[in-house]
Amino acid sequence: MAQDGICRGAGCCRVGLTEDMSNDGVYFNPLYNTTNYYTNRSTTDRAEYRGYAVLMESNSFQFNTTYLNTTAFFDEHAGRVPVILNWAVGNETCDIARKKNGSYACLSTSSMCVDSSRGSGYLCNCIKGYEGNPYLPHGCQDIDECATNKPPCAGCINIPGSFYCPSPRSLNVVALAVGSSIGAATVVIAITCTYLFHERKKLAKIKQKYFQQHGGMLLLQEISLKQGIAFSLFTEAELIEATDKFDNKNILGRGGHGTVYKGTLKEGSLIAVKRCVSMTSEQQKQEFGKEMIILSQINHRNIVKLLGCCLEVEVPMLVYEFVPNGTLFQLIHGDNGCHNIPFSTRLRIALESALALAYLHSWASPPILHGDVKSSNILLDENYSAKVSDFGASILAPTDESQFVTLVQGTCGYLDPEYMQTCQLTDKSDVYSFGVVLLELLTGKKAFNLEGPENERSLALRFLCAVKEGRLMDIIDSRIKNVNDIGLLEEVAELSRQCLEMVGERRPAMRDVAEKLDRLSKVMQHPWVPAQHNPEEMESLVGESSVASLEMIGSGNFSMEKRIVQGLLESGR
């Protein structure tokens, strides 16, 4: 029967290990497995005796009967008991083991082999001056004796496996060398810091110079005086961060006046940043700040909003609202092409673009000339509404004759031929360019095509020739030739022809173009069915003064509307 302090086979047994033992094992006989026996007993009688083996010093263990059904022994010793093992690798000497490269255990280059002092086999140790695990490659690492709390000597220098104590004279030389190195390094650092400080100061002065040169002080003053101006002055660093250092992947488009990048401000809002190419004159630089104030006050739903600018660079950068659905040029001439655009949508986009330009010419104060109207400068928002953009070529309307002469970087196919002869940019120059955009919407063709025959490269000239020869429908996009819309198509084509007059004075004003497109759009939205309308409804739909205006216009202008209204009035409806 098991008794406290006695370990002789009843509940406890022990066996000593010999020095030359190479293998041992522990086995519990199932016949004496008390756990299985007691498992079948009733719950009240149940006891579970646990069997376990421990390798330890014999003098460190004192048997207790409570160990039979608990782990109290391990709990008392926190899972640890003392044990001393004397082991060795294999049963060969070092000399023999070294010759067997595949099984030799001393893998560290800084290790040594020692024959076992207690039987066969060998052990591995790190050589003097190294410590670690000799059984691992690079397991023995150098001991830095000089890094201890009490180094072995003054000026101690660590070397692999040992250390070196220099003589006092050597210490002085070393101290002098170290002092000289520190002094030289200090001088270099001081010079570098001074250089960087001066360069930063120089850069700040350059930025301040550009800021003042571009009218930044005037701009700040105007912003402070005028309440409600949502206009910001961005730093170069802000725009560099927003565009990921103007990465090419963020390019939205390139043009003659600069490159436009997509950007994201810190608060998450999307912007379009335009890096302009250059400014043509000193006067333009001086007037830039003033013009920014004027442009910032433009508030029209069909004009891209100018959010701010950056003036601390040689050529200012403009920041606009981001418009997501690309350009009208891409919609017409892209991979999907014009075939997905119904005539009603084309007419609406033309009307919205005309309204924007009419606003710039007639209602902005002072009036603004765009200077580079083209389908790639008409953006489309999330609802595919038109937004006129790119005021890189814009100028304030001249107040005297001397200001008329200016060089504008227009686009081939859209540029007013009268401007090409006189270099006088007027509001009628924008009208001509808009006439070409109208043609693109009507024909689905590009304004200028270098690949075509010489007499067909210019869309405007090709259109005018077709009109002159009575072949208008030959040039109209076949995908919008609806029988019900032929009259409207002819009216839009006639409006485009008027915009393309060679002499600027003969072209309609942009507000007249917008009014005409507005009336045509309403006609398309409300088909004229005589049995369902009366004269008051007609007059309301085509404008309050439409009937009177139509009577004053020649038979060549607005003919379809005139015929419709007159027919309705004659019918008594």
Q: For the chain, how long is the longest CA-to-CA vector?
A: 133
Task: Locate all alpha helices (DSSP H) within 61-167, ordered by sequence.
Answer: 72-76, 94-99
Question: Which residue, chain included where needed, has tokens 């069909």?
Answer: 302
Residue 306 contacts residue 318 (beta carbons within 8 Å) = yes
With the CA atoms of 344, 347, 351 and 352 taken in that order, what torsion angle do they form, in degrees rounded to the nearest 10?
60
Question: Where would I find the beta strands (DSSP E) of 62-132?
Answer: 111-115, 122-126, 130-132
The residues, any chain, with a CB within 8 Å of residue 35's CB and separated by 6 or more, are 48, 49, 50, 51
Containing 386, the helix (H) or strand (E) segment is strand 386-388
Distance CA 67, CA 571 (A): 118
Strand partners, 387: 379
Residue 441 contacts residue 349 (beta carbons within 8 Å) = yes
SS (H, E, C) 264-310: ECCCCCEEEEEEECCCCCHHHHHHHHHHHHHHHCCCCCCECCEEEEE
Q: What is the pairing mode between strands 232-233 and 306-310? A: parallel
C-alpha distances (whole Å) from 282 to each of 213, 485, 491, 509, 513 are 9, 51, 45, 31, 35
Residue 517 contacts residue 431 (beta carbons within 8 Å) = no
* Active site residue ranges: 372
The residue type at 92 = E
Residue 106 has what DSSP assignment?
A: -
C-alpha distances (whole Å) from 524 to each of 360, 517, 528 are 26, 10, 9
- Residue 274 labeled ligand binder: yes
Q: What is the pairing mode between strands 232-233 and 162-164? A: unpaired
Residue 18 contacts residue 25 (beta carbons within 8 Å) = no
Strand partners, 327: 379
Distance CA 179, CA 173 (A): 10
> Per the omega criterion (within 30 degrees of 0), is the bond before 152 cis?
no
Distance CA 121, CA 106 (A): 13
Supply angle C-alpha 254, 293, 279, rounded to 5.
Answer: 40
Q: What is the pairing mode between strands 386-388 and 317-321? A: unpaired
Q: Specify binding-site residues for ATP.
A: 274
